[in-house]
Amino acid sequence: MLYTILCYKDEDVVTAWSADEEAAVMGRLARVHEGLARAGKLGPSLRLLPTTAATTLRKAGEPPLVIDGPFAETKEQLLGFYVVDVADLDEALAIARDLAAANPGGAYELRPVLLYNPDPRGAAPGTGAG
């Protein structure tokens, strides 16, 4: 079963990290990523650009409204996500706990993926069958 793990954290904190702090967090996360990849559990994972680069299309109204910035003003922003191929929610939670140990603070939101379109370039690992 595919789960997405959405990564929320205070963007101002992350963008204020020194180069050494950034390297330390990325190094700890890399160790988690390597284990997941070896186990065939890691799908796409992305780090999003800052919310200052975001554009939102509000669907209500004709024509739809396009605005600069993220959809909501919140303390923590969606900074990235993982797609993992796991047996169940318990396994997805175990992965999220490992990620949290590597990068404390913020929150991880886990959601099952109901629709899966494999990467047409053939880069998507797994089939989503679980």
Query: In 3-state terms, what secondary structure has residue 110?
Result: strand
What's the total number of domains in the chain? 1
Give the pLDDT mean for 76-80.
86
pTM: 0.78
Q: What is the C-alpha R_g of the chain? A: 16
pLDDT in tens, 93-118: 999 999 999 998 888 999 998 766 66
The reply to whether 66 falls in a domain is: no
So what's the pLDDT on residue 76?
77
Q: Verify cis geometry, omega within 30 degrees of 0, for the bond prior to 63.
A: yes
Largest CA distance in the chain: 48
Task: Show the domain range for 26.
Answer: 2-45+76-112
Q: What is the CATH number of the domain that holds 11?
A: 3.30.70.1060
The reply to whether 54 falls in a domain is: no
Task: Identify which of 115, 47, 51, 55 has the alpha carbon closest to the alpha carbon of residue 77.
Answer: 51
Q: At 51, is the pLDDT very low, low, confident or very high (cuts 50, 70, 90)? A: confident
How does DSSP assign 5-43, residue by residue?
EEEEE-HHHHHT--HHHHHHHHHHHHHHHHHHHHTT-EE
